[in-house]
Amino acid sequence: MDPTHKPAAREPAVAKQTASGPIRMNFVTTIVEHAPKVEPSPSQLLDWYRQMSLIRQFEVKCAQSYQQQKVGGFCHLYVGQEAVAVGTIAATRPQDYIITAYRDHGHAIARGMEIAPLFAELYGKATGCSHGKGGSMHFFDKSKNFLGGHAIVGGHIPLAVGLGWAAKYRKEDRVVLCYFGDGAINQGSFHEALNLAGLHKLPCIFLVENNGYGMGTHIHRASAVTDLKLRTGDAYGIPGKEVDGMDCLAMYHMTRDAVEYCRAGNGSLFLEVKTYRYRGHSMSDPQKYRSKEEVGRFQEHDPIGRLEKLLRAKSIIDDAKVNALNEEIHQEVEKAHALADGAPFPPADDVWRDVYANPYPPYLKR
């Protein structure tokens, strides 16, 4: 099926005017087209390269710490998907909301959270971003409008719609970026939430990080329709578009246009992000459902390597600068890890804190 095809019964394509030019859209699968804009500067490209490299080294250290039993519970690594978080969040403003699922380390770092509190959260320490109570799946920083980190598959998608509703109700210039995996699309909460977002034209961008597997099950074995961007337009009036999640610039350009579309009051958008994780679903995943050759094929298109190749072509970096940057990041990660490792655990009576916004009186006596 041609994704740009319009059935005869549908309304014709319409054009909406924004400050940057027309947005031409079909009803089912939308192609958002804007006038040419200024490309990212060399300093921006270098910053994105550094962010992705920091996420990669942070995750490698997390894997080592997990194997040393410093991390309790589940731990889902973002290795291979770094371009998604970095490219998309670069297109937002500080007041925009970011909300994601349990594979949340990369998004938190791309949003600007310090890594020492993230390590501390993994280790259950009092200095963690959620005071050691959330762990790997519940990174959170209200000051940066990074609202999780949610462990229930698809459970945060209605929360994203609530944030979008609040922004529209209050007439705030805010957009919501909501990330989830392809497994969440088959949850009822996904469909209920997108129906409301489409009905009320909320400023939400729904990004499915389609890495091909819901845990250990390939998408072709779990979804009747594997072209995920087609699952929103007809049903909920939310335009869909596909983007290469292994390309940081592609992610930035697509999200920049999507954010502009939402800010203009046009409603929500759905982005199917084609990406891949090099590690298992979680640290406990033996990955017997795929071959090393398959992983190797995707690693040939590594997002960090692709951006590095561009930076070299533009003479922004060379071997010496790459080596210096990686060493700088390594020292930053080691220092943050040491701070977290030496931090105290929460006191026992903290178990009664942060349960209610206003403490329940009987707990105050404990």
For the chain, the domain total comes to 1
Q: Which band of pLDDT confidence, cut at 50, 70 and 90, is reported for residue 171?
A: very high
Element (H, E) at 356: none
| Mean pLDDT of the 241-267 span | 96
Q: Does residue 30 carry a pLDDT above 80?
A: no
| Mean pLDDT of the 239-245 span | 94
Q: Note the pLDDT of residue 358.
A: 67
Residues in the chain: 366
On whether residue 135 sits in a domain, the answer given is yes
On whether residue 6 sits in a domain, the answer given is no
pLDDT (tens digit per residue) in 315-342: 999 999 999 999 999 999 999 999 999 9
Q: Does residue 9 carry a pLDDT above 70?
A: no
| Mean pLDDT of the 155-164 span | 97
On whether residue 141 sits in a domain, the answer given is yes
Q: Note the pLDDT of residue 21.
A: 40
Q: Which band of pLDDT confidence, cut at 50, 70 and 90, is reported for residue 24?
A: very low
Q: Where are the alpha helices (DSSP H) in the chain?
A: 42-67, 82-89, 105-110, 115-122, 157-169, 188-200, 233-236, 248-263, 292-299, 303-313, 319-341, 361-364
Q: Note the pLDDT of residue 98.
A: 98
CA–CA dist 327, 333 (Å, integer): 10
On whether residue 14 sits in a domain, the answer given is no
On whether residue 27 sits in a domain, the answer given is no
Residue 325's alpha-carbon distances to 6, 100, 279, 330, in angstroms, are: 49, 29, 24, 9
On whether residue 189 sits in a domain, the answer given is yes
Contacts of 92 by beta carbon, 8 Å cutoff, 6+ apart: 98, 175, 177, 255, 259
List the domain range (segments joined by +) for residue 57: 39-364
User: What CATH number corresponds to the domain at position 158?
Assistant: 3.40.50.970
Contact assessment for residue 232 and residue 199, using Cβ atoms and an 8 Å cutoff: no
Residue 213's DSSP bridge partners are: 218
Read off the DSSP letter of residue 15. E
82: left (phi over 0), alpha (psi -120 to 50) or beta: alpha
Residue 31 or 180, more confident: 180
CA atoms within a 13 Å half-sphere pointing along the CA-CB vector of 245: 25
Q: Which amino acid is at 121?
A: E
Instruction: Report the range of poorest mean pLDDT among 188-192, 228-232, 274-278, 301-305.
Output: 228-232
Contacts of 261 by beta carbon, 8 Å cutoff, 6+ apart: 18, 23, 32, 269
Instruction: Report the range of poorest mean pLDDT among 47-61, 161-175, 177-191.
Output: 177-191
Contact assessment for residue 331 and residue 114, using Cβ atoms and an 8 Å cutoff: no
| Mean pLDDT of the 180-184 span | 91
CA–CA dist 17, 28 (Å, integer): 20
Which residue shows structure tokens 């014709």? 12
On whether residue 31 sits in a domain, the answer given is no
Q: Note the pLDDT of residue 13.
A: 36
Strand 176-181, strand 14-18: pairing: unpaired
pLDDT (tens digit per residue) in 141-151: 999 999 999 99
Q: Does residue 26 carry a pLDDT above 50?
A: no
The token pair that represents 134 in the structure block: 């959330």
On whether residue 11 sits in a domain, the answer given is no
The token pair that represents 142 in the structure block: 């209200």
